[in-house]
Structure formats: structure tokens, C-alpha cells
Chain A
Amino acid sequence: MPEAPLSSAPLFEGLSAADVAAILAAAHRRRYGRADFVCHQGDPVDAVYMVAGGRVRLTQLEVDGQEVVIRFIGPGDIFGAVAAFKVTQFPVSGEVVEASEVLAWDRATMVSLIERHPRLGQNLMAILSGRIQEMRERIGDLQTQRVERRIARALLRLAQQAGQRTATGILINLPLSRQDLAEMTGTTLYTVSRVLSQWEADGIVKPGRERVEILRPHALVTIAEDLPSP
């Protein structure tokens, strides 16, 4: 398996070729076939793993039994990085989707490598920081979705009470300001404006002056009820 690309992996940034070679030499190497598991959710995290070749899919089993794909790990990418810092369990399972070679540094080895090559520890932290940043963005997306659902539900309630069929959709036939909508949904005027503008661009609603027309009722229901798109 060619190792040239591995030396440019984020984990090895700023390290000399000799250091990288020493770090790679300290790893255990294991080959996996397609559909093999590198780790199982709930197992103790015993090592920092790097995919040298191939591809591993990290999945998480939700409480309802649904399997969610968290990310794909390709050559040079690592997982289990937290093993270097904390005794914990795998929050994910790693399933090989393309025959893979995986490098593993057990905790003691990684800790002593970090002591010898402080840059390695810095790189690990940079990688973990990136993952935290990603998670923060995902949480932000979820919050946005929640606000969108609240606004969609408010419009549905209003349409049910004061909706009027038009040639193009359903007009909510009452004076309704964006501030009213913000108050109904416990959010800000700014957020309501941003969401309505997005929906207008998507052709879902047509906000007018103190009037809102729903142009694609089903799209709004899909947002409000978190339904899969038909």
C-alpha cells in the first residue's frame, strides 16, 4: 500500500519525514475486507486509528434502532482520536466499505509518541477541534430546523383558521406582520424575515405587506411535520 499520501495527512502536519516514518512504524497495521468492522459502538476506545487505504463508514445506532451515517473515513483520515486523551467508548461503529488497511496506535504508544513529538499532539487537537466545530454547525442546523418548523406550524394554524383558497394557493386572510409571527413562534423578527425570504425564494410562500400566501401547501406541511419529501 503506497504511503506517500499518508505523510501529507493532517495528523502529520509540520513533522519531518523521519518523524512521520517513526510514528508510522509504531502503528499496528491490519487489513480488513469489505463489510468487516474495525470497531463496534460501545466498545472501549483502545487506539487512535488511521485509514491507510480504503474506506470506513462510521455509523451510529439511534435509540429507535435507526442507523445513522456519521462520516466516511478515507486514506489519511483518523478516528478514535479521543483515545489519546480519555478512556471512553466508541460512540460509533466503523464498517469497512472498501477493502482497507488501517493503522492503529494504542493509547500508551500514542501518549509516548505525543511526548516525543509535541506537534503530533497539537495536530490531534486541531483535528478534534475541527470535529467539534462541525458538531457545533450541525447543532446550529438543528436549531434552525426547529425554528423553521415552528414558523411553518404557525402559518398552518393561521391558514386553517383564516385561509382562503386563491388561484395560486392559500391566502392567510388577516393582517399578519412578521413581528406577529415572531411573537407566535418565540423567535425574532430577523429570524422570521430570514426564513420567509428563504421560503419565498423556494416558491413555498409569497409574503406580502401584512399578508402571507402559501403557494406550495404541501411543502409547508412537510417542513412543519418533518415529513420525508414524497
Chain B
Amino acid sequence: MAQEITGKAVVADIVGRWPQTIPVFIRHRMACVGCSLAAFGTLEEATRVYGLDLADFVNELDNVIQGINVDLQEGLI
């Protein structure tokens, strides 16, 4: 499953398919969740805009999708 995500993946697809990734975006203070243009932007573009490392970010998403990271609450209010 992990290898499915690449920088070319569209943000809305990721969030729609794996809603558990939503907190990852929120934790990085990204406005992607619910953004009307999320269907057009790739992870590569989103991380570039927010000055994040793509590989690290994809890794975080992978971990969440695989249920590895259980520390998600930390980023939520």
C-alpha cells in the first residue's frame, strides 16, 4: 500500500481515499483539507508551497495509512 503514494498523487484523492491522513495535513497547518482546489494539486505541489520535505511528508502519510503512527491526536485541538 505504501508504494502507492508518490508526489504525483492528487491531494483530494489521498484525503478522500484515506481520511485518516487529514490530521497530517492539519498538523502541518496546510489548508488542503476542504480546499476547492485540492482536486487539482499534487502532494509535490502542496509540500513545495508549504516548504515541506516531500519524502518526509509522503512517509508520514504512509505511516498513517498503515496505522503505524498512533500519535495523531497531538496535532489536533
Measuring CB to CB, which residues of chain A are less than 8 angstroms from any residue of chain B?
156-157, 159-160, 163, 165, 170, 214, 217-218, 220-221, 225, 227, 230
Q: Which of B15-55 contact A (CB under 8 A)?
A: 29-31, 35-37, 39-41, 45-46, 49-51
Closest A-B pairs by Cβ, 4 of them: A160-B36, A218-B49, A156-B36, A230-B50
Provide the bound-state CA to CA distance between A4 and B46, in Å: 57
- Please tell me if the beta carbons of A163 and B51 are within 8 angstroms of each other in the complex: no
Give A161's nearest chain B residue, CB to CB: B36
Interface, chain B (partner A; CB < 8 A):
29-31, 35-37, 39-41, 45-46, 49-51
B40's closest neighbor in chain A, by CB?
Answer: A170
Task: Give the chain B neighbours of A230 by CB distance below 8 A.
Answer: 29-30, 49-51
CB closest chain-A residue, reference B10: A165
Question: What residues of chain A lie closer than 8 Å to B49, measured between beta carbons?
Answer: 218, 230
Question: Does the CB pair A217–B37 fall under 8 Å?
Answer: yes
Question: Does B37 lie within 8 Å of A163, measured CB to CB?
Answer: yes
A221 touches B40 (CB 8 A): no
Report Cα–Cα, A163/B35, bound state, in Å: 14
A222, closest chain B residue (CB): B31
B52 CB to nearest A CB, Å: 9
- For the complex with contacts A220-B37, A230-B29, 16 further pairs of A-B residues with Cβ separation under 8 Å are A156-B37, A157-B36, A159-B36, A159-B37, A160-B36, A163-B37, A170-B37, A217-B41, A218-B46, A221-B31, A221-B35, A221-B36, A221-B37, A225-B31, A230-B30, A230-B50
Query: Residues of B contacting A157 with CB < 8 Å?
Result: 36
Chain A nearest CB, measured from B36 CB (Å): 4
Write the chain B residue with the least CB distance to A165: B40
Q: Which residues of B contact A217 (CB under 8 A)?
A: 37, 40-41, 45
